[in-house]
Structures are given as structure tokens and as C-alpha cells.
Amino acid sequence: TDSMSTVRGGLSAIGADSILDLSGSGRTTFEGALTASDGGKVHIAAGDTSSFTVTSGLATGAGSELESDARRSAEITGNLRAELGASASENLYESAAGTGALSASGSGSVIRLGITGKASFTGTVTAESGAAAEVTLTDTGVIEGSGTDSSLVFQSVGTGSTLDLDIGTGTAATGDLKVSDGAEAALRISGTWIGAALLDSGTSKVSLSGGVWQLTGDSAVTTLVSNNSRIAFPAAGSGAF
């Protein structure tokens, strides 16, 4: 679609041979649910100043894929979830903006978030029940929380769950990380991370290389490596560590 088109309604791809693509440019508006199941694939792409609202986004079943892209100054709002071995991803480029809760549940399921250019994402990323989450920030990308629980942005929950967060040079991520119930998380920081590392049970590894970790609260990790980096603690009196 192009110019000032408006599209409303759900988009579904069911079955291994099913592929559905929706691209919008100009000031295109989209609102609806996205579903990929039984190996189906759904891809949406917002460009220019388009505004896409995903009322619900679900990829379920091995081989199913759900992909959401935004470029230039486009905006994508809504939640994406992968389960039962499926994958879902959100990719934000240039000055695009994304908002929502991204999650994956179950062994083999993957949720991915990529932020490049001056793009930004506001929301949460969660891997649970053996799933994987992969987050990559490059250029001057930004990620932060929203709402009443804005401090908790990254979660890895349950044995077999993994969360991989790469905060590249020039980028910034604001929000706490929580690892619980035997899960794993690995953070690589060359940019700036503002948040706390909360460890219930599991493995949490933080590696800094030319980066900054600005702690906002009590933190615990299993492995901490710092190379030519800075770890900044809150001012005296604001909390105990």
C-alpha cells in the first residue's frame, strides 16, 4: 500500500506453504492481528511515516515466522509472541520507533529485536520456558521500559531459557534485567546500560568492553568482565550494595 491507505483486519498464514506480506509507505495506517501457524510466515513492513498497530501478534508451531519491520520515521505498536518452536522478530531502522511486549515461550522458540540507526524501542523482552531472546543495538539505537513497571525490561525465566543482549558502541539501554528459575542471560556492553542485574537463580554474565554500566539498584551476576570500561554506582545514600 502507499500514500494515505488504511488497512484494517487480521492477517493469517497457516501451513508451511503460506506466506503473507504487507508493506506500507507514505502515511499508510494498519490495524489488526497477525498470526503465523503450522509453518506459515507473516511479514509486515512500515516505511516513511506509516503507523502500524498490531492488536496481537502470534507465531506458533515449528517453522512458523512472524516478522515486523519499520524504516525511516514509521511506527509499529503492539505485542509479538513466539511459542511451540516458532520465531518472531521486530527490526527497527533509521528513525523508526517500536512499542510493545516481545516474548518467546517453549523450547526452540525465539524472539528477536534489532535496533539500528537512530531507531528506538519502548517495552519489554522476555524468554521463558526454554525459549531464547536475542536483542541487538547498533549505531545510536535506544531501548527503554514503559508503564508502571518500566524498570524491568529484560527477563529470562525457566531452565533452558536464554537472553542475549548486545549493547553496541553509541547505543543505550535503560531497564533492569531479571534472571530466574535456572535461566541464563549474557550481556555485552560497549555502549551504555542503565539498570540493575537481578539474579534469582540461574546464570547471568555481564561483559563490558569500552562501555558504561550505570547501576540503579542492588545487583548480582555470576560473571563480570570489564575491559576499559566504567561501572557507576548510585550516589551515597540512595541505596546499599
Nearest to 181 by CA among 226, 131, 144: 131
The total of other beta-carbon atoms located within 10 Å of residue 223's CB is: 10
pTM of the model: 0.94
241, pLDDT greater than 50: no
What whole-number distance in Å separates Cα of residue 16 and Cα of residue 105?
A: 21
- For 37-73, how does the pLDDT look when each residue is reduced to its tens digit (9 = 90+)? 999 999 999 999 999 999 999 999 999 999 999 999 9
Contact 107, 83 (CB under 8 A): no
Biggest alpha carbon distance in the chain?
Answer: 60
198: its cell numbers: 537481578
Contact 132, 111 (CB under 8 A): yes
- For 126-143, how does the pLDDT look when each residue is reduced to its tens digit (9 = 90+)? 999 999 999 999 999 999
220: its cell numbers: 548480582
The total of other beta-carbon atoms located within 10 Å of residue 17's CB is: 9
**Terminal alpha carbon distance of the chain:** 54
Residue 185 corresponds to which amino acid? A
- Measured CA to CA in angstroms, residue 80 lies from 76, 150, 203 at distances of 11, 18, 26
What whole-number distance in Å separates Cα of residue 196 and Cα of residue 224?
A: 13
237: its cell numbers: 545514600
Look at residue 148 in the predicted model and tell me its pLDDT: 55
E strand or H helix at 53, and its extent?
A: strand 51-60
β-sheet bridge partners, residue 102: 80, 125
Burial state string for 29-47 with b = 16 or more CB within 10 A and e = fewer than 16: bbbbebbbbebbbbbbbbb
What whole-number distance in Å separates Cα of residue 28 and Cα of residue 130?
A: 37
- For 145-188, how does the pLDDT look when each residue is reduced to its tens digit (9 = 90+)? 976 556 999 999 999 999 999 999 999 999 999 999 999 999 99
Place of cell 551504555: 192
- For 49-58, how does the pLDDT look when each residue is reduced to its tens digit (9 = 90+)? 999 999 999 9
The DSSP 8-state label assigned to residue 141 in this structure reads -
